[in-house]
A and B are shown apart, each in its own frame.
Chain A
Amino acid sequence: MTAVLTASQRATRRRRTLLVLGVLTLAVVAAYLTVDVTGSWGYALQQRGRRLAAMAVVAVAVAVSTVLFQTVTGNRILTPEIMGFDRLFVLIQTVGVFFLGAATVTTTDPRLRFAIEVVVLIGFGAVLHRSLFGRTERDVYVLVLLGVVLGSTFTSLTLLVSRLIDPNEFLTLQDLLFASFTSVDRQMLALSAVLVALVTLGVWRLLPRLDVVALGRDTAVGLGVEHRRVVNRALLAVAVLVAVATALVGPITFLGLLVANLARQLLGTHRHAWVLPGAALLAVLALAGGQLVLEQLFGFNSSLGVVVNFVGGIVFIALLIREPRQ
């Protein structure tokens, strides 16, 4: 197990792993599009294609945001979702509908709405960032606890507000929040795809510096990386990506954790140029594969979120138990 591979052997293995992941993902995508089509092929492909596109957008957003968040916090257990980012997003929507009314919210330019939501998420990210880096000794349990408390506070507030909301407005709100993969708005999808693509491209230039940031603040500063600037940009990207993913399909808490750690494990590296594509492919694989199994085997009787969270939750606990020993 502790066989020592040379750098070039490792690189070869990484390339092969990524290739295998790519082929697997293509196979699952093809299967998802074509299995058990009855009736019009054109219609089936259009419907499934749109769902698949939504999954791909969410997969990339979740994978990239999780890897970046873990890098800047120097932690492999926390994800933006565990720290309550996505539930804050839900809370903002709910509070918006409550105070402004569904009519105002839905008629506001979606880009403006989105911008406001992202700004609040960035603010939250900044506060979290301070509390994460402010302490000298980063106790992972305290942080996880903080995330759980924040997350459930946001959820409780959301519940409270949604009970106060007029029932009709509540229906609109639900439409806003839980689009799920089966009913994604086409315009929203296009907007999200563009945003995710832009952010991912923007992040790509940061990757070498993020590799250094992953070594810890002091080492990064010593190597001449403007740590604060890189971290701020990464957190900005995280806020946008989480907002996109949550706006599209609602919270999937453990997907990011699952794919980020699996990607590092499989590829045997922390280099972002490898981990990001790996995690994104794994996320597409998990979502499309999971949805395929759900639709074909269980006849839509369960939600994908439940399955992903079940598997991801187990991984989370395993990591939590293992971490202190390192």
Chain B
Amino acid sequence: MIEIESVSKSYGGVRVLDDVSLTIPTGGITSLIGANGAGKSTLLSVASRLLPADGGRVRVDGMDVATTPGPVLARRLAVLRQENAMSVRLTVRELVAFGRFPHSGGRLTAEDHRLVDEALAWFELGPLADRHLDQLSGGQRQRAYVAMVMCQGTDHVLLDEPLNNLDMRHAVQMMRMLRGMADELGRTVVLVVHDVNVASCYSDRIVAMREGQLVAEGPTPELMTPELLRKVFDVEVEVHELAGRRIGVPWS
């Protein structure tokens, strides 16, 4: 469970997060949606202690992220940012193996190797394991990063725009894998997503933000309404029921 208590954050006088309070329950997929600059990524960064908050606090399983020692928190919560350009040249296996660092500190045990192989298999990276990251396509690379985060074996997995640069096929594949992580492995997955319909089709809960504030949060079907989407995105959106899913259509 992630408890966010009246968190604020400003960049150079501009309030990016304004007194946000939110509880993300254990299990399932929670999607953060909102327009560009709504503060989704900042909230994710603060919740995963990549950014210090100006005010308020965040607790993961009761541990304050600002004061809990890094290695302890890294065994409970894993995070992947949007930008992952690295100055080092790694193979896929080396990257994924870094996910075990919080547990074994760089000296991999047999158990670690087994978990690395498992993560590689889960994300269908087996045949690419010994390739370098710069030899992969954008979609494959993205999968490798998510595999590293999964390999960390944490109860909470926070991902910032994991579908960035992915085409339709790879986006669907990625969402299915994340769904599997939540359903089969019991992880709590939190995503920043900019496509409302991805959030609608794959997540259990939605958190909607606008201008640094929380607009609404709750189970997905309750939030996929024309009124709420208009409030969040400032655009008229029709919501249609298609094969049991709610799909928003803004092109009206």
Measured between beta carbons, the chain A residues less than 8 angstroms from B80 are: 222
Which residues 1-36 of A sit at the B interface, judged by CB distance below 8 A? 2, 4-7, 10
- Indicate whether B86 reaches chain A with its CB closer than 8 angstroms: yes
Residue of B nearest to A138 (CB): B87
Contact between A7 and B93, CB atoms less than 8 A apart: yes
Interchain nearest-CB distance for B115 vs A (Å): 15
Q: Does residue A223 face the partner (Cβ distance < 8 Å to B)?
A: yes
Q: Does B245 sit at the interface, judged by CB under 8 A?
A: no
B79 contacts partner chain A, Cβ-Cβ < 8 Å: yes
Chain A contacts for B98, CB-based, 8 A: 211-212, 215, 219, 223
Q: Which residues on A sit within 8 Å (CB–CB) of B106?
A: 207-209, 211-212
B85 contact set on A, CB distance < 8 A: 216
Encode B73-85 as 1/0 by CB contact (under 8 A) with A: 1110011110011
Query: Chain A 199-228 against B: per-residue CB contact (8 Å), 1 yes, 0 no?
Result: 000000001110110111011011111100
B84 touches A223 (CB 8 A): no
> Once the chains are docked, how many angstroms separate the CA of A219 from the CA of B152?
12
CB distance from B58 to the nearest CB of A (A): 14
Contact (Cβ within 8 A) A74 B70: no
Is there a chain B Cβ closer than 8 Å to A129's Cβ?
no
Residues 88-128 of B, flagged 1 when their CB comes within 8 A of A and 0 if not, give: 11110110001101100111000000000000000000000
Interface: A48 (CB within 8 A): no
Q: Tell yes or no: B48 within 8 A of A by CB.
A: yes
B50 — which chain A residues lie within 8 A by C-beta?
218, 221-222
With A6-B130, A208-B106, A208-B107 as given contacts, are A224 and B90 in contact (CB-CB < 8 Å)?
no
CA separation between A68 and B49, bound complex, in Å? 25
Q: Which of A7, A212, A215, A222 contacts B130 (CB 8 A)?
A: A7
Task: Name the residue among B49, B89, B101, B130 with the largest chain A CB count within 10 angstroms.
Answer: B101
Query: A225-257: which have CB < 8 Å to B?
Result: 225-226
Judge whether B215 is part of the interface by a CB distance below 8 angstroms: no
Please indicate the chain B residues that have their CB under 8 angstroms from the CB of A7 in the complex. 91, 93-94, 130
A270–B84 contact, CB under 8 A?
Answer: no
Cα distance A223–B145 in the bound complex, in angstroms: 12
B238 to chain A minimum Cβ distance, whole angstroms, is 38
Q: Which residue on A lies nearest to B88, using beta carbons?
A: A270
**Is B23 located at the chain interface by the 8 A CB criterion?**
no
**Chain B contact patch, size range:** 35 or more
Q: Give chain B residues whose Cβ lies under 8 Å from the Cβ of A156.
A: none
Determine whether the beta carbon of B72 is less than 8 Å from that of A224.
yes
**A169: shortest Cβ distance to chain B, in Å?**
45
- B36 within 8 Å of A (CB atoms): no
A76 an interface residue at 8 Å Cβ cutoff? yes
Inter-subunit contact B70/A225 (CB<8 Å): yes
Query: Is there contact, CB below 8 Å, between A208 and B105?
Result: yes
Nearest CB to that of A215 among chain B residues? Answer: B86
B176 interfacial by beta-carbon distance below 8 Å: no
Hey, which chain A residues are within 8 Å of B240, CB to CB? none
Is A75's beta carbon under 8 Å from chain B? yes
Contact between chains at A216 and B84 (CB < 8 Å): yes
Inter-chain CA distance A223–B106, complex, in Å, is 11
B15 at the interface (CB under 8 A from A): no
B192, chain A: closest CB distance, angstroms: 14
Tell me if A270 and B48 are in contact (CB < 8 A): no
Given A4-B131, A7-B93, A222-B48: A215 touches B72 (CB 8 Å cut-off) = no
Nearest CB of A to B110, in Å = 14
Distance from B11 Cβ to chain A, minimum over Cβ atoms (Å): 10
1/0 contact string of A85-126 vs chain B (CB within 8 Å): 000000000000000000000000000000000000000000
Contacts of B10 in A (CB 8 A): none
By beta carbon, the residue of chain A nearest B74 is: A224
A270 touches B89 (CB 8 A): yes
For the complex formed, measure the closest distance between the CB of A177 and the CB atoms of chain B, giving whole angstroms.
34
- Complex contacts, B219 vs chain A, CB 8 Å: none
Among B71, B88, B130, B131, contact of A224 (Cβ-Cβ < 8 Å): B71
B135 proximal to A (CB < 8 A) = yes
How long is the Cα–Cα vector from A270 to B74 in the complex, in angstroms?
23
B102 touches A223 (CB 8 A): yes
Q: How far is the CB of B105 from chain A (nearest CB, A)?
A: 6
Q: How far is it, in angstroms, between the C-alpha of A74 and the C-alpha of B131 when the chains are bound?
A: 22
Query: What are 5 of the A-B contact pairs (CB < 8 Å)?
Result: A209-B105, A209-B106, A214-B87, A218-B79, A224-B69
B residues with a Cβ closer than 8 A to A are 48-50, 69-75, 78-81, 84-91, 93-94, 98-99, 101-102, 105-107, 130-131, 134-135, 149, 152
List of 8 A-B pairs having minimum Cβ-Cβ separation, nearest first:
A224-B74, A208-B106, A270-B88, A224-B71, A224-B70, A224-B102, A222-B79, A74-B87
Q: For the A-B complex with A218-B81, A226-B69 known, give 6 more contacts whose Cβ atoms are closer than 8 Å.
A: A4-B131, A214-B86, A215-B86, A222-B81, A223-B99, A225-B71
